[in-house]
Structures are given as C-alpha cells and as structure tokens.
Structure 1
C-alpha cells in the first residue's frame, strides 16, 4: 500500500481498528498490520500508536474441551476427534454432489457445487475423479520446480531431488501435475487483474488449452462470461517460511478445488461431515 494512497490516508485518520475473529488470524498477519501502520504514521509505537481491538473468543479455537475450565483446556492432550458414524458417508461423494455430469452443457451447474476436504491429497484425488466424468481429452500440465538457496537462490539438486520437489504441494501452490479438460471448473490461486475480476478465489471454466496459456471464461460474479487468458507464473515461498526445503514452482495459478472464499454454492459436501443447507451456507462457505 502506497503511503500517498487513499487507503493509507484513511488509516492515518482512524483512531480505533476493530479486528473481528482475531484468534483465527496467523501471527504474521498481526506483524504485517503493525509494520504497515508504523510506516503510515511514521511512529515506531506498536501499531503506529493506533488502538487495535481484537475481537473473537480464544476458547473457540483448538483444542475445544466442552464445559472445561482454563486449566483443563491447557492440560488436554487429546489428539483424536471421534466423528459419529451418522455424520460419515460411505457412498461416492463425487456422484452425490455432481451427479451424472457428462456433457459440457451440464458443467454450468457444477460451478455452484463443491466438495470440501481438510487435506490437499484428498482434494486432488476427488478432483481427478470428477474430471474423468467429462468428455474429451485430458491434458496434464507439469510444473518446473527449483530449490531456492537463501544466499544465491541457485539450484541445490544435491540436497533435494526433482522427484521430491514434484511430490510437494505447499499451501498456496498449485500441484505439480495439473489435470485439465475443456469445460473443467478451476479456481484462480493469485490476484492477476482485479479490474477484470481475476482475483484469488475466482472460479473459471476452461475453454482453450495451449502449452503456455489457458483460455477461460469467468464463471461467477459481475464479470461472468468474460473470456480471459491465464499465463504460467512463478510461485515463491513467503518471507516468513522457515521450512528447510524452500523452492519455487512455475505453473498455471489454478486449482480444481475451492479455497475458503465467499462463493454462492447450491450443493456443499464435506468429506468428513455433511453440512445442512441454510442461508449462512450459501453466503459464507
């Protein structure tokens, strides 16, 4: 954010900032806001001297121990959560949510549906199963992965093999192998052109597949139906990433799963439990 921007001037004028659901935010988000306000106010006080009100209930974040006091919560060391049998599904999730979608015309209905999974591995497996129901030839796009050295950012192939890098899918990265077909629904992983509606979380349908570029149509929002081009980009780890294996990946910024972003959904299913449909589902899931 530029210091001379309108948003910066607004932050300079405010006295209080209310941050709802603060316990759900990572510590790096607080650090980023602290640094931003210090730069805007040119004061080295915490948060630039602004009063920050953190809202939310720390008792609602893990571990959750029903009817327990603070000492019982701190002493709780349970690592397992028992999911009741009546909340599990033994059927085919893909068929239950997407039905018999076998034509490109039916894919418009798939935009309003999603399967939520806690692990990327499960998500990719289900995505490939749904993709196999579409007609046409499947195309696989493989990424180019390179190890980043903190000092030289050069390759370090002697420590990590290329096969090992290909097997990793860090948070915010697309998979090494991106399976696509014409008509497939994908989700954008980066902000490309906000004025055209190409933001992180935008859902698109694949119309054309080239070696270095994807032709897609925006599936939701005010720009629905607009034809856009999606290039390959380079994904790099954030500055606060302390993992021993830091690498960059060149791949299309797309994923055939839906991240946690506001999207109107008519049919939602979790691989761990079923969600009842009510107004909050469609507005916030």
Structure 2
C-alpha cells in the first residue's frame, strides 16, 4: 500500500531520529529508500542522505511545468524506477515547483497515474521554520511557493511531533526549559503580535542591546567563545572539534557576517596564513579591473583574502564530494595549511572525525541583476564560521548559541529558527545594535501558512 505522509515536527522534536528509524526499518525489509533533504548540511543527518537536487536532478529554476533532468534509460532513471520509499526532509524550505517536478517525472517514469508513480513518500518539516527563498519577494511570495499551496499537500496524511526534545527537561534547568519551549512556540506562531510583521518582548531569553556595534559583537562573542584561547592550547584536535561543533553565532544577513568573521583569526594563537584568490572577468557588457573584482563578495562565495591558522574552524561553501560528506555547510577544523590546499578534519554530520583535503577551485559568479557581471574566482571554497546565516543554521543544533541582531530578521520563521538552535535556555543569548533600553525585536510570521 502506498504511503503519502507529512511529518510536522517542532524544532528539536526528534524528527531526524524518527526518519532514520523509518529508513532502517524499510531497508531491513529489502526496500530501496531514497533519503533527500532540501539543504545540504541537514541531508547528512539522514542515513544515506543527499540533497534533493542531486538525488532527483531538479532544475535550478523550476517552473510550474518543469520536469527533472533524467531519462528512463539513464542510470539515475533506472535507479529511481526501483525505489520503494522517498524520505524528504526540510520540505517546508523547498520550492513547491521542485516537488511537483519530481512527482510529475516519477509518474511519467513509472507510467502509473498515481501520485509519484505509486512510490511511497514521507515528507518532513515544520511550517514555523523558513519558507522557500524568493529573491526580492515578500513573505507572501514565499508562502505561495510553499508545498502548503500545492495540490499534493491535500493528499498527505499529516502526523505531528509536538514536544521539543532538544530543550532538555531533565537537566537542572528543566523547569526553565519547559517554559522556554512554550515561549518559543508562541514566537513561531506569532501569538504576541498584531500583524505578520511585529515586535515581541524578549522576556524568554538573556539579551543585550547597545548603540555600539563593536560592543554588541564583543558581548555575543564573549558569550559563545569564552576561554577560547585557553582551550586552543589545552585541547586535542578531537576535543577542539567538539568545542567548535557545539557552539555557533547566527545572524540574518551575509553583510553583517563577513566583517565579524574576519576577527576570528585574531582570537586563535599562531601564525596567520593568507590565501588570496585570482579573479577574472568573463566577457560581457561591463569590464571591471581585478582590483574591483577582489572587493566583490557575493553570497556563497569565499572572500578574496582568507586569513587562516592551524586549529581554526572553517565552513564549506560548495558541494565538493557528497559521498565524503563535503557539502555546502559542512564545518571543518584546519589541521595543516599548504600553498594551495588544506588538511582538515570534519566536525559535523555522519562523517565527523574523518580527515579530508580541500584545494582551491574555480568558482563562477553568474550574471546578476544588480551587478550585471559574470566573473570567476580561484580560491579555497570556504569561509570562517564564527557567524553563519540563520538560514544556513536550520537543521543544526548547538549547546551554546549567540544571535547577533545588527539588522532585523526579514523573512518568515527566521527568529523562531535562530532561537530554537540551542539545547538549553542558559545556552542562548541575543545581542544587538540598538538603545540599551531595548527589550524587543522584530518577528515575522506568515500566519496563514500555519492554518
């Protein structure tokens, strides 16, 4: 019998554990299972997980009539013909046209007029979290591209996981954590605001605002990375991986992140090593000098100059080798630096603790509406992970989380995601730029998507 299901799981509700249990049970029955996810780093939390785009060949810019890029005679087509179950996590972050393209293509492949060609599908996600990204669009544009607006959603049997297990209730802070799990649920629901975009009081967490940007940054860094230098000197590589893996700072915008990340090398003892990129302008209507290209830092691109040290954590910006766990968002610890390469240890995911090499590669920045240029950058595909975007943090858990708020959140679910990354309330701190008397922050919830 075909299963069509949506598991709606709160952040920290044990959704990943449940999905992996389902995968194991189906495999024990000799079933062929595809585990996919809408984001790279979250995909590697699943057994055999890969990104949905790599598993299904989804077009980069799907339309209402799109199909996937494989044929029945292709190796991918033959494999997909044989599968019994699709597990698709973080589905609420996926463009509905991507999901519909997969459904349409599988129906054509199997020549069966049933959803997904009769293949069982279990989606998982949470509509309080971030919706599909729409460049320049409103939260209502994001909602319109959600699977919630697809006819497929009406076919799904909905199951709920409504207890936050990430927030530890059996610790000394158990009672505080119970109250916080209810508070964060109200944040996700937009309970305390009149409109979809509104202000909420931050009485549920430790927070501090200051007019000085430098002071606000230092407060967040001191909370998350206290005693960093002492730990660098005393800890083994494995212990350092655990230390960095368990903490993170999140912020809404890339523009707030780049400058702060450049301060990380100064926090770690040892000699700095510079990795400079080679930038080249492709043919086009504009002609920019290499010096100008050096100063351009598009989202998802490494900077022109990377300041590196041994024992410094870095984060991958590209999918390099999915079978080795080298995907966009993988966190690494630098163990050795050479002229054009790094020796690193993976800090996150199912490949945690494995040694890998990272070399410089050629990255292409496609023509952009604002800049109107196309150029290439030859550089290590990494950046420093002192601060990451809230969007990139979705699917990750930390012991200690700092939320840096120089600019307000700008899309549905961002504040909820940021504030639900930690396992304990004492491990959460929000620091921002604003009057010292400020006690609130912006929250954005497209409430009709939750109905």
TM-score by length of 1: 0.69
Instruction: Confirm or deny: 8 A CA contact 2:277 2:304 kept in the other structure.
Output: yes
What whole-Å deviation, never above 9, does each CA across 1:146-174 have from its counterpart, x for those lacking one? 223xxxxx3x6963233332222222211
Q: C-alpha distance in 2, partners of 1:34/1:254?
A: 34
CA 37–235 in structure 1, closer or farther in 2 if over 3 Å, else same: farther
Deviation at 1:248, TM superposition (A): 1.8
Q: Bigger CA drift: 182-191 or 10-19? A: 10-19
CA 56–192 in structure 1, closer or farther in 2 if over 3 Å, else same: closer
Q: Bigger CA drift: 130-139 or 101-110? A: 101-110
Q: C-alpha distance in 1, partners of 2:279/2:105?
A: 32
Question: In the alignment, what sits opposite 1:70?
Answer: none
Question: In the alignment, what sits opposite 2:363?
Answer: 235
Gaps of 5+ in 2: 1-56, 58-69, 132-138, 144-188, 210-215, 406-414, 428-451
The answer as to 2:311 corresponding to 1:167 is: no
CA 238–138 in structure 1, closer or farther in 2 if over 3 Å, else same: same
Q: Which has the higher contact order (CA 8 A, sep 6+)?
A: 2
Question: In the alignment, what sits opposite 1:8?
Answer: 77
The answer as to 2:339 corresponding to 1:205 is: no
CA 210–32 in structure 1, closer or farther in 2 if over 3 Å, else same: farther
Q: Bigger CA drift: 260-269 or 243-252? A: 260-269
Q: C-alpha distance in 1, partners of 2:338/2:257?
A: 25
What whole-Å deviation, never above 9, does each CA across 1:218-249 have from its counterpart, x for those lacking one? 1233433322210111112458x555122221
The answer as to 2:352 corresponding to 1:224 is: yes
Question: In the alignment, what sits opposite 1:151?
Answer: none
Q: Bigger CA drift: 24-33 or 126-135? A: 24-33
Question: In the alignment, what sits opposite 2:401?
Answer: 268
CA 226–53 in structure 1, closer or farther in 2 if over 3 Å, else same: closer
Q: 1:120 aligns with which of 254, 266, 279?
A: 254
Question: In the alignment, what sits opposite 2:272?
Answer: 138
Q: C-alpha distance in 1, partners of 2:96/2:305?
A: 32
The answer as to 2:165 corresponding to 1:96 is: no
Q: C-alpha distance in 2, partners of 1:174/1:234?
A: 11
How many residue pairs get matched? 262
Deviation at 1:21, TM superposition (A): 6.9
CA RMSD of aligned residues (A): 4.4
Q: Bigger CA drift: 116-125 or 21-30? A: 21-30
Q: Bigger CA drift: 1-10 or 98-107? A: 1-10
Instruction: Confirm or deny: 8 A CA contact 2:264 2:384 kept in the other structure.
Output: no
Deviation at 1:206, TM superposition (A): 0.5
Q: C-alpha distance in 1, partners of 2:341/2:356?
A: 10
Gaps of 5+ in 1: 68-72, 149-153
CA 38–131 in structure 1, closer or farther in 2 if over 3 Å, else same: farther
TM-score by length of 2: 0.46
